[in-house]
Structure 1
Amino acid sequence: MAKNDPVGDNARRGAVRDRSQVYNPKNETWTKRDSDSGRFMDQKKDGEPFKGVRKEPK
């Protein structure tokens, strides 16, 4: 039987809630947004999408 141990190791399991990401083709980066307020939070430098954050439709 599979377990999610060890408890308390600060590892995320599942999707990040209340967050979304959108791709900016002008500078070719992914930007993370807060779903509640709509504010932009963070931007990736390497051009790869954020892990575990849902993508907004184009």
Structure 2
Amino acid sequence: MATNPPKGDGHRNGAVRNRSQTHNPQNDRWTKRDAETGKFIDQKADPKPFKGVRKER
């Protein structure tokens, strides 16, 4: 799990583990995926990518 002290400063140190994101060109949204199961977890409401989550190529 990523660490993020001091609390309340609004940023994370390190990447989110066991997650990746991929871009869906049909609706121009980024979708977060669980790396262990391959299931889709979440989708962004805006066209910007998730912060701190690695991108699939």
Report TM bin, short chain. 0.7 to 0.9
Report the RMSD for the aligned CA atoms in angstroms.
Answer: 1.8
Tell me the distance in 2 between the aligned counterparts of 1:5 and 1:17: 17
What is the TM-score with the length of structure 2 in the denominator? Answer: 0.81
Tell me the distance in 2 between the aligned counterparts of 1:27 and 1:17: 26
Tell me the distance in 1 between the aligned counterparts of 2:26 and 2:13: 32
The alpha carbon displacement at 1:12 in A equals 2.5
Q: For each residue in 1:34-58, what CA deviation from the matched residue of structure 2 results, as whole angstroms up to 9, or x when unmatched?
A: 000000000001110000000001x
Aligned pair count reads 52
Moved over 3 A (4+): none
Higher alpha-carbon Rg: 1
What is the TM-score with the length of structure 1 in the denominator? Answer: 0.80
